[in-house]
Amino acid sequence: MCRLFGMSSSPRRTHATFWLLDAPDSLSDQSRREPDGTGLGFFDADGSPCLRKAPIAAYEDRCFAAEARQVESTTFLAHIRFASTGGLKRRNTHPFEQDGRLFAHNGVLENLSELDAELGPDIALVHGDTDSERFFALITREIRAHGGDVAGGIVPAARWIADRLPVYSLNLILTTADGLWALRYPDTHTLYVLERRRGGHHGDRHLDHSGTAGHMRVHSRALTGEPAVVVASERMDDNPAWRLMEPGELFHAGPDLHITRTVALPHEPHHRLTLKDLRPEAAASQQTV
């Protein structure tokens, strides 16, 4: 399945190094499915969003994805894509940017023609072929309608989809220069939160997070002396403070890492999909690698 990783040290700018793919795998690992794209989003000192992303359609793409990315930001968003909808193109690679915000999604929703009809002229926000970018466009429309309130956009957009479209998972992370939002819905995939104190669990350690299956590593020496909030698809170190988000939970880490959380979608999707309901390529993208 796709991997999500978001981190905030707001309002402090933090240096961090990301490796989204390891070097080519050993022969013993070659039977597992390889990712279809990698992406990293962050913000310049003036608050402008920056994206470093690429599909993995050729050997040179994998080499690009395996390079260390040393960046500085208040918030970070990384994604490893296993494609369910849309070809191996940059325009289909997460994260996406709209209205200065960054977004990544892990899951599947269907009946995209109905979603396109609901978006109407706001379909112009969508430049690729994915369900994820369409979901983001609906959120962006609702944020505009709610005067820039991000949570006020995420919740009605997710509820509209949950009430009207077939849903497998809507797990998402959305970032701005000073905030991070995450939604886990329903309980199909895990999404964990770590409210990391300075120095981590031991009090004197830099951040060194590693995902499974050779995908994604994050290192930040700066976080030896600064706190941070991390949201990820899996626990990425041995810190006992990792917390599994509740199904339907909307989590927000704002400026100064002030935390709010609420179960915003307490009910099941009206039409909940299972793996056996998905197209073969979509089902393959959602299984644990």
Taking the chain (289 residues) in runs of 10, the rounded mean pLDDT of each run is 91 94 49 76 97 81 82 96 78 95 94 97 96 97 98 98 96 98 97 95 88 82 96 94 98 96 96 84 64
Question: Phi/psi at 70 (nearest 5 deg)?
Answer: -100, 115
pLDDT of residue 81: 84
pLDDT value at residue 67: 84
CA within 13 Å, CB half, 62: 12
Q: Under a CB-based contact definition with an 8 Å cutoff, are residues 126 and 119 in contact?
A: yes
Given a contact cutoff of 8 angstroms between Cβ atoms, the answer to whether 56 and 89 are in contact is: no
DSSP for 228-256 reads EEEEESS--SS-TT-EEPPTTEEEEE-GG
The reported pLDDT for the residue numbered 92 is 92
255 close to 11: Cβ distance less than 8 angstroms: yes
* Tokens found for residue 57: 């359609």
pLDDT of the residue at 284: 63
Q: Quote the CA–CA distance of 72 and 13 in Å, as a whole number.
A: 6
For residue 158, what pLDDT is reported?
98
In contact, 148 and 203? CB cutoff 8 Å: no
Is-contact 189 169, C-beta < 8 A? yes
Q: Could you tell me which residues are beta bridge partners of residue 4? A: 79
Q: Which long-range contacts (CB under 8 A, 24 or more apart) does 138-143 make?
A: 139/103, 139/174, 140/98, 140/99, 140/101, 143/99, 143/101
In 3D space, the residue among 260, 144, 145 whose CA is nearest the CA of residue 195 turns out to be: 260
Residues 167, 114 contacting (CB under 8 angstroms): no
